[in-house]
Structure 1
Amino acid sequence: MQTEAIRAFVAVCDLGSFQSAADALHLSQPAVSKRLANLESRLGHALFDRVGRGVALTEAGRAYLPHAREMLAVLQDGERALDNLGGHVAGPLRLALSHHVGLHRMPDILRAYVQRYPDVAPEIVFEDSEAACRSVVNGDRELAVITLPTPAHPILLEEDIWADPMSVFVSRSHALATGAALEPAALANHPAVLPPTESYTYAIIRAALASHGVTIAPRMTSHYLETLGMLAGAGMGWTVLPSSMRQDDLVRLEIKGLSIGRRLGAIRHPQRSLSNAAGAMLAMLEQARDKAR
């Protein structure tokens, strides 16, 4: 019963209301409220402040939340270990994909995977790479295939699968689209449209430019590289995209000495067992890496 109360607590934290948690857990709202009241009584602390129709974590709730997540993750890990004993690849595949990786790197792998393992039920979410890492840390996802963080994540293990060289692009009518090789400093004189400043990709771009003494302040940001390509093609500024993402309305600039590249790959938690379904996916990703090299 305590496990179910902890599950209700985490659901309310993630979904922001008792009713949303009740819907997700297929319970009535009073049942969720009762479970949480019992949990608070056992712990001796109020976990939530009721604010209007919403809820907010108390200081005790914030302190308890990571431990609650870890308890649920340990239980899931034990269940996976038992499920894995038969060796059959079946059950849920709880996978997170970044948008670019999902669109441009995963279709062939996913197609082959579902054909090879028809008894697996994929549960795929598309998230920003940063959010996907949090999902793996929290135990919401077993595996994430994303832009790998630089520097490496302090907790998670990574498998480097693809190199992703990147280039600077502008519209064909942009002042920098002269066809001549440019100094990196030329970029500082023109607006940029780039990934959000808190993203892994932005950190890679910023570091590459900073090595040439160039600082940047993007005019607009988006996690979606296709959106950045559209904005650059419309003349909103220069952008940085994977070199393979060529568009008819964009020109790739030659920037002297500038090298920008990401690493794309898989992230998993070192202290949790992968299900047979997730292990099979990781093996297919590693095969894709070996074929590409």
Structure 2
Amino acid sequence: MDTQHLQAFVAVAETGSFSSAGQRLHLTQPAISKRIATLEQQLDSPLFDRIGRQISLTQAGRSLLPNAKRILQEVADAQRAVADLRGEVRGQLSIATSHHIGLHRLPPILRHFTERYPEVKLDLHFLDSEQAYEEVLQGRFDLGIITLAPESDQRIAEDVIWRDQLHFVTAHNHPLAQRAPLTLADLSPWQAILPDTNTYTTQLVQALFSERQLALEVGMVTNHLDTLKMMVSIGLGWGVLPQTLLSDGQVHPLTLDHPPITRSLGAIHHKQRSLNNAARVFLQLLKG
């Protein structure tokens, strides 16, 4: 049973589409279909029901899926273990990171790593921290460099790399910018611009308002902090931004009568997924 056939099967099962599986594996749709057909012939059983454009796993497919994932993981672990025995820093390093960290924290580390270890194929994906966390939990990435979850899953190992202080901000001509100090009650009547409610950052802000039984009116939502900054800067509402985005003076930091909000940024990996030499070296660079 060829591992390439199993990779195609898992990709189709997870994406629900032959074309999407092809995009994930950088293959054409006919190539994916051929691998699935070969695997079905080897097992003498259909793995997918095909009704129009919709596909779903058959009973045989549902039975095979967890075993296929386990086999692929064990093969990948074996390949890493052999390479690690030779002390080599090469192969593939897959990383999921948030847009903010990827744009404002990682560039110097990525530059240093790629210059020092050119034989490592870096597979970098930009995802929301919450999605990246789930992807690492499913074993799809070696590392996640993200905003850390308030409560960590016991299957995840994490290292805090940065402490990010968050600031309440408005446009310079916003009515709130003319007042100091402010309370959360002063902010409550005004429209906020925040990331989606399932993000760790917005959960921190929502908790502050909920503790004081204050309404939080979120009028606009964007998960990209650079976009949020632009929307705040033109007066569409108040928002919350990390210190790293305030140096250019485009927004006005508000003075509030409560301790600063901080969030933890760092690296995560699955405890049951062995780290190869490339991942271990990258973690060392992150920790400084």
Query: TM-score by structure 2 length?
Result: 0.88
Aligned to 2:34: 31
Separation in 2, partners of 1:63, 1:129 = 31
For 2:62 and 2:199, locate their aligned partners in 1 and report how far apart those are by CA, in whole Å.
25
Give SS of 1:177's match. helix
SS of corresponding position for 2:178 = coil
- The offset of 1:211, in angstroms, is 3.0
The code of the aligned residue for 1:76 comes to A
Q: Structure 1: any 5+ residue segments left out of the alignment?
A: 288-293
Q: How does 1:92-107 map to 2 (within 5 A)?
A: 92-107=92-107
**1:100 shift after superposition:** 0.6
Q: Structure 1 91/33 Cα, relative in aligned 2: closer, same or farther at 3 Å?
A: closer
Residue of structure 1 in register with 2:72 after alignment: 72
**Alpha-carbon distance in structure 1 between the residues aligned to 2:38 and 2:231:** 49
Shift of 1:64: 6.1
Structure 1 residue aligned with 2:269? 268
Q: Which segment is superposed worse, 54-63 or 29-38?
A: 54-63
Structural mapping, 1:1-293, within 5 Å: 1=1, 3-22=3-22, 24=25, 26=27, 28-35=31-38, 37-38=40-41, 41=44, 48-57=48-57, 65=65, 68-246=68-246, 247-287=248-288
Closer, same or farther: CA 155–195 of 1 in aligned 2, 3 Å: same
1:53-84 superposed Cα distances (whole Å, 9 cap, x missing partner):
24245688668645543442232122211111
Bigger Cα displacement from structure 2, 106-115 vs 53-62: 53-62
Q: In the comparison of the two structures, how many residue pairs are matched?
A: 284
Q: Kindly tell me: are residues 131 and 69 of structure 1, through their superposed partners in 2, closer, same or farther at Cα, counting changes over 3 Å?
A: farther
Shift of 1:34: 1.0
Partner-residue secondary structure (3-state), 2:94: strand
Q: Say which is worse superposed, 26-35 or 136-145, in terms of deviation.
A: 26-35
Change (3 A) 1:101 1:22: closer
Q: Which deviates the most, 159-168 or 67-76?
A: 67-76
User: Which whole-Å CA distance do the structure 2 matches of 1:214 and 1:184 have between them?
Assistant: 8
Unaligned 5+ segments in structure 2 are none
- Of 108-117 and 205-214, more deviation after overlay is shown by 205-214
Equivalent residue letter for 1:236: L
Task: Give the distance between the partners of 1:207 and 1:63, measured in 2 at CA.
Answer: 42
String of CA shifts for 1:164-203, please: whole Å, max 9, x gaps: 0001001112121114111111121011110111112221
CA distance in 1, matches of 2:202, 2:60: 35
With over 3 angstroms needed to count, the CA separation of the structure-2 counterparts of 1:15 and 1:213, relative to structure 1, is same
Cα distance in structure 2, aligned partners of 1:2 and 1:276: 26
Q: Which range moves more in the overlay, 173-182 or 63-72?
A: 63-72
TM-score if structure 1 supplies the norm length? 0.87
Are residues 94 and 180 of structure 1, via their aligned partners in 2, closer, same or farther at CA, if it must alter by over 3 Å? Answer: same
> Any conservation in 1 of the 2:148–2:265 contact (CA below 8 Å)?
yes
Shift of residue 11 of structure 1? 1.1
Contact 1:6 1:39 in 2 (8 A): no
1:20, distance to aligned residue in structure 2 (A): 4.1
User: 1:73 touches 1:138 (CA, 8 Å); kept in 2?
Assistant: no
Identity %: 38
Q: Note if contact 2:180-2:256 (Cα within 8 Å) is conserved in structure 1.
A: no
Offset of residue 147 of structure 1: 0.5
8 Å contact 1:8–1:35 — kept in the other structure? no
- Give the direction of change, closer, same or farther, for the CA distance of 1:205–1:64 in structure 2 (3 Å limit): farther
| Equivalent position SS for 1:75 | helix
- Range that drifts further, 69-78 or 112-121: 69-78
How far apart in 2 are the matches of 1:283 and 1:199?
A: 27
SS in 1 for 2:279: helix
Deviating more after overlay: 183-192 vs 247-256: 247-256
Aligned partners of 1:166, 1:108: CA distance in 2, in Å? 22
